[in-house]
Structure 1
């Protein structure tokens, strides 16, 4: 679940607290190309106010039109499909003749949205199971590695909370931008900095700060294929310790700030003092980030997340369909 969809749940819960009627739409299937991935959310209030997005706006407009026509007065979850034919796909802004299916769910006390949000606020990964006959939802801990939405004839199972994790070494100015952007992309973010002069003033809502030594933090983090680690201190005593452990692990992305000259020196240190192999060192992204001519801290943070995103999707074998602009 990305941060946009978490915001949809929060908005929907707020509307419910005001005793407003709310219908929650979840993308359950797509065929061809679609503007948003499976699991994306949109909420429609009883007066036509929209939160979230599942298309470029055309489907949202249609949902509002259906609500005003009275066809969204639902008593249980109901599927709705858009773009069955090419003409309808164009009408609803689905690129390349795509087809998209929504599960429309009238929210109520049985939906367990408040409980879900409470658990997400504690950083939990949660599995939500929606009974399609009754509209009642139950919650459980997400299974390790599980992220896929599953739709059967009787229930819809979705996973919520950060699946992807980012560990940043260093709590400097650039980390502020990197952490906030990463939160918006759905990462669970942890920042490590044992230096009091940096850690004392670092506070970002939703970000965990640890003052332990970087190598210990990386080890305790247990990096896996959904983990990115970025070293930003410019201090070899801190960055090198973190990279030593990170490059031996399974993180999908390991990056370090510094010029090409400094990167060459870093590689030599890691090989000589810590015994890292050439194969392990080749996993290091440095200079960190895509080369977009970035100069300012927010621009560099953007370049780092752009490279992380590219590596993440390449690792998953994802490729955009020819001729599609999503």
Structure 2
């Protein structure tokens, strides 16, 4: 079963590094701002190579098609000025009809030609290494011939994904967010489906073989093991969400004990107020401190008064996405 361990942005940087390592120049395009209809948000990136095609996405297809034509021609010009520039693309009525876009709009792109030099290769390698280490990095791209600046300082990697000044564009790159679901059930099924659609790499863990039989979902990694071991090994950095949905202390408690000692941006557990009170008492017995237990979102999700699995999943994902936004904006 396939699942994505990297974000689209990570795959774009990997492709650029491969092309540049082979001595081949390439293009990097980044959405700076949007107005009206926009299938992809600011910060979305696309890499283009005349022979290898595109990696990443900027729209439903209309922008990519126009860019391929424009950049293919520009790639043949060996004397082209490599200075980054802003390019505005307006979505026409013809584009709306052809690509089923709901309305017109405008997208501003940062277009960069990355020439295969040792400095450029080292620049892209630093970004790739940072993402592989599951950290964030900000690129400040001057709209001149000045060097691009990279920073991993805490103050620089907080705030908006893209900021624009008269002379430069600042773009934040970060690792893919991972979600660990504890317990195979209906709520987990719907949560996994929604989490995939909003950019999480999802892993489902359940040590109970009978619960895993027949449980499958495209794009979700499924593991049968003790979840506390998995938390320690793979789900301990700030870009992780850990959701205890088994409703079984034998599955949830030890994993939560480990999770509450990590830097995960979100930790939640399903259950009623009474169940939550009993769980917190057990966590105290497992030597979790009051400060650690205070990080737990329980009962998990927003209180919408529903008992339907799909609607519970909606309430959970609404809270997770809200906490992710809070984390990203500092």
- Picking from 109, 129, 133, the partner of 1:118 is 129
- 2:21 pairs with 1:12: no
What is the aligned length? 280
- 2:263 pairs with 1:254: no
Distance 2:324 2:204 in 1: 26
Q: 1:211 to 1:95 in 2, by over 3 A?
A: closer
Provide the residue aligned with 1:200 in structure 2.
Answer: none
SS of 2:103 mapped into structure 1: helix
Provide the residue aligned with 2:140 in structure 1.
Answer: 129
Q: 1:309 to 1:273 in 2, by over 3 A?
A: closer
Provide the residue aligned with 2:111 in structure 1.
Answer: 104
Shift of 1:105: 0.4
Q: 1:186 to 1:291 in 2, by over 3 A?
A: same
Distance 2:152 2:46 in 1: 24
Provide the residue aligned with 1:23 in structure 2.
Answer: 27
Say whether the 8 Å CA contact 1:228–1:308 is kept in structure 2: no
Shift of 1:25: 0.4
Structure 2, unmatched stretches of 5+, are 1-5, 208-219, 285-292, 326-330
Say whether the 8 Å CA contact 2:31–2:45 is kept in structure 1: yes
- Superposed CA offset, 1:263-300 (max 9, x none): 577335237767999x97444579x998349xxxxxxx
Shift of 1:154: 1.8
Q: 1:193 to 1:21 in 2, by over 3 A?
A: same
Say whether the 8 Å CA contact 1:21–1:107 is kept in structure 2: yes
- 2:74 pairs with 1:65: no
Say whether the 8 Å CA contact 2:228–2:255 is kept in structure 1: no
- Picking from 153, 158, 163, the partner of 2:166 is 153
SS of 1:96 mapped into structure 2: coil
Pairwise CA RMSD: 5.1
Shift of 1:228: 3.0
- 2:241 pairs with 1:231: no
Say whether the 8 Å CA contact 1:169–1:193 is kept in structure 2: yes
- Superposed CA offset, 1:48-94 (max 9, x none): 7111110111211111211343378451111111116x537637845
Q: 1:184 to 1:70 in 2, by over 3 A?
A: same
Structure 1, unmatched stretches of 5+, are 195-203, 257-261, 294-302, 318-326
Say whether the 8 Å CA contact 2:132–2:175 is kept in structure 1: no
Shift of 1:118: 1.4
- What TM-score results when the alignment is normalised by the length of structure 1? 0.63
Distance 2:264 2:51 in 1: 49
SS of 1:15 mapped into structure 2: helix
Distance 1:88 1:158 in 2: 31
- 2:67 pairs with 1:83: no
Deviation larger for 40-49 or 54-63: 40-49
Of the two structures, which has the highest relative contact order with CA contacts closer than 8 Å and spacing of 6 or more? 2
Provide the residue aligned with 1:34 in structure 2.
Answer: 38
Q: 1:222 to 1:81 in 2, by over 3 A?
A: closer
Shift of 1:221: 6.1
Provide the residue aligned with 1:296 in structure 2.
Answer: none
Shift of 1:27: 0.4
- What TM-score results when the alignment is normalised by the length of structure 2? 0.62
- 2:67 pairs with 1:56: no
Distance 2:136 2:107 in 1: 26
